[in-house]
Amino acid sequence: MSLSDQPSSLGSRLAALIQRLGLSGRAPRQIVERASGLQLPFTPLPTLRDSICWQEGPPLQRLVDLPRGALSGPVQEDKAQAHAVLIRLIEVQQRQLDSFDLRLIDGFSDCAAERTTFTRFEDYAASEFCRQVRIISYKDFIKTISLALPGFLSGERLALREASWRGQRLFWAGEHHSQAFACAIAYARRRELEITLPAEISSYRFSREGLAELQRRYHVLAMPAAAWSDPAFMGLLLDSGLPYARLSLLRPAGAPEFLLLPKHSTEASALGEGLRLAGAPDVVAYLQALAGLNASESR
């Protein structure tokens, strides 16, 4: 498509959208039109990289215990309603195992920056970051794993985590002596040592009902940091007094912030549709993809 075709194409899409939404009022139509023309530095939401680090990727597990104060916005009721939907997106279940093979673990919670590039304990254990850990004999192995797990010989229960969006990977919930832990597990796998402990596993997964409710009730867009100082966007957001809530969930500095616009408000829904046309990433579609769902399945 040539550049000269783009305005007419956008106009056709706007007309079709306005007709589909039944926006008979002048204000909602103007909101869609103005929002679709915004020039903001939208960027795709981060892809999920395979890593030994629990904190790699979007920290969706935080939604389970999301504080009410995590959302910002001018109206308390709007924030409270958004919060009530967000905390139902992720479910967590605990299960107790009397005997768990530690060789199945291939991740940990303590994630220093240098560890995010590794996908296996074996690779991390062989790196310069673990060169001070030496395991030559079984005695060395016991000493090393006991450094990370002081209760290893007494059979103390192990705390583990897993998340459906991280596949089958299991993460150790400890936060100390990670180098020793990784090296010990890698050694046990290499030597085919069966090492077991009782374990408690916290399993995080998406709620189909929670995702469906979010899709039904909200537009959720990933807005760049520059949006909050952009006069054109802020004018659209504030001048009409429409309801909204904001959530900073992604960790990196300058990461996109989530804007939640309730669909029960014609003006807020119009803004959401316009922002999508302007290129704002759809957070609901992103979450559905991580959950292995498509839009029709989550409805």
Q: How distant is the alpha carbon of residue 232 from its chain centre?
A: 29
Query: For the chain, how many structural domains are there in total?
Result: 2
pLDDT, residue 10, reads 53
Alpha-carbon distance 39 to 277, whole Å?
A: 11
* Domain final residue, candidates 189, 206, 223: 206
Same domain membership, residue 216 and residue 144: no
More confident call, 250 vs 184: 184
pLDDT tier, 298 (very low <50, low <70, confident <90, very high otherwise): very low
Q: Is the pLDDT of residue 109 over 70?
A: yes
Phi, psi of 275 (to 5 degrees): -65, -35
For the chain, percent of residues with pLDDT exceeding 70: 89
Q: How confident is the model over 20-31, as pLDDT tens digits?
A: 555 555 678 899
Q: Is the pLDDT of residue 3 over 50?
A: no
pLDDT tier, 299 (very low <50, low <70, confident <90, very high otherwise): very low
pLDDT, residue 5, reads 45
More confident call, 97 vs 13: 97
Same domain membership, residue 151 and residue 121: yes
Give the residue among 48, 42, 36 at the shortest CA–CA distance from 222: 42
> Could you list the residue range(s) of the whole structural domain that residue 146 is in?
91-206
pLDDT tier, 77 (very low <50, low <70, confident <90, very high otherwise): very high
The single-letter code of the amino acid at 42 is: F
pLDDT, residue 12, reads 58
Instruction: Classify residue 16: in a domain, yes or no.
Output: no
* Domain final residue, candidates 178, 206, 234: 206
pLDDT tier, 55 (very low <50, low <70, confident <90, very high otherwise): confident
pLDDT, residue 20, reads 56
pTM for this predicted structure? 0.85
pLDDT, residue 215, reads 97
Same domain membership, residue 153 and residue 249: no
Q: Is the pLDDT of residue 66 over 60?
A: yes
Instruction: Classify residue 77: in a domain, yes or no.
Output: yes
Instruction: Classify residue 6: in a domain, yes or no.
Output: no
Instruction: Classify residue 286: in a domain, yes or no.
Output: yes
Q: Is the pLDDT of residue 257 over 80?
A: yes
